[in-house]
Amino acid sequence: MPHTEPFTWKSMIPNFNLTYLTTLGLFIFAMNGSEYIAPYVTEMKNGPRDFPKAIWMLAIMTGFLTVLGSFSLGIFFNAHHLPNGLKMNGSYYAFQYMGNEFSMGNFFLYAFAITQAIYMMAQLAVLIDAGTRMFLSDTAKKYLPQQLTKLDDRGLPINGYWLTTGICMVIMVLSATLPNMNSIFNQLLNLNGIVSPFATCFLFTS
């Protein structure tokens, strides 16, 4: 039974006004970060042909998941009375609710938490790798400390990885000490939802 009432086709059709059109920025925001795979173009068999196809496929999948995800949220939560921590913990709430519906307790919640942890670590590894490659390969060597440009036996800028990892750790530790983390998260997400789409539009246009 959907928690959002009324749950009809008529209620799902949006009003196509300026306010609604601004929410399309969320779709662009969902695509944000895909430009970090650009350094791997040279490792593709036919980068100029296959890379644009990969980006289009990513955009199509993102659009599908955005629509399906919004539909699912209308089932799990009452759209008129959303939880205060939905933006930060909405996924966990949904899997906890699903476990309760199937009389499986918190099984889905724990399974998702483990999967999410693995996913976030993999994402962090890719972001560190791609960002470090982009920074160290597109910048003149004379402007960088020699230690940062040092390559290991596999041709990877290992010291650049350690520097980025250290910066990320400092940011995460500092964020854990902030009061009322949920409000800070929501505010940063709202700000990022405005700034990132503009940046991504410029990147994709380029």
| pLDDT tens readout for residues 42-60 | 778 888 888 888 888 888 8
Determine the Cα–Cα distance for residues 148 and 137; give it in Å rounded to an integer.
Answer: 11
Tokens of 53: 């196809």
pLDDT of 114 higher than 90: yes
Average pLDDT of the chain to the nearest whole number: 78
Average pLDDT for 141-155:
75
Listing DSSP states for 57-68 in one string gives HHHHHHHHHHHH
Integer CA distances (angstroms), 116 to 122, 126, 135, 149, 182, in order? 10, 15, 28, 32, 19
Average pLDDT for 146-168:
78
Integer CA distances (angstroms), 91 to 70, 73, 76, 82, 126, in order? 12, 9, 10, 13, 22
Integer CA distances (angstroms), 165 to 159, 162, 187, 193, in order? 10, 5, 25, 25
Q: Is the pTM of this model over 0.85?
A: no
Question: Cα angle vertex 34, ends 206, 46, to 5°?
Answer: 75
Average pLDDT for 156-168:
79
Determine the Cα–Cα distance for residues 85 and 168; give it in Å rounded to an integer.
Answer: 24
pLDDT of 124 higher than 60: yes
Tokens of 107: 């099984």
What secondary structure letter does DSSP report for 14?
-
pLDDT of 206 higher than 70: no
What is the predicted pLDDT for the residue at 200?
67
Integer CA distances (angstroms), 48 to 19, 38, 41, 51, 201, in order? 37, 11, 8, 6, 20
What is the predicted pLDDT for the residue at 112?
93
* Residues whose CB falls within 8 Å of the CB of residue 162, separated by 6 or more in sequence, listed in order: none
User: In sequence order, what E strands does 34-114 have?
Assistant: none
What is the predicted pLDDT for the residue at 106?
92
Q: How many CA atoms lie within 13 A of 100 on its CB side?
A: 7
What is the predicted pLDDT for the residue at 136?
67
Tokens of 65: 């998941």
Tokens of 108: 């889905």
Cis, bond preceding 48 (omega within 30 deg of 0): no
* Percent of residues, the chain, with pLDDT higher than 90: 7
